[in-house]
Amino acid sequence: MTREQLDALFDRVRSWPADRQDEAAAILLSLEAEGEEVYHPTPEQEAELEEALREIDRGEVASEEEVRSAFRRRH
């Protein structure tokens, strides 16, 4: 999202009812707080990360075209 889009969104939020503005603020504050915490993966996530690293070591990686294709599908 560009700076201009974000500014436009905040302008629209200011026109919302007070309770909706409070809800939006709570969500943003929650996201901000999450960004300050140190992330600790679960044991399952650690195992998945370790397996992903082993796959990389074995050369099991996506080609440049596969990566581009995945990004095209998501955007």
Question: Which tens digit of pLDDT belongs to each residue from 24-65?
Answer: 999 999 888 886 777 788 999 999 999 999 999 999 998 899
Residue 46, classed as helix, strand or coil, is helix
Would you say the pTM of this structure is higher than 0.75? no
* Spatial distance between the Cα atoms of 29 and 20, rounded to a whole number of angstroms: 14
Mind listing the pLDDT tens digit for each residue in 7-17?
999 999 999 99
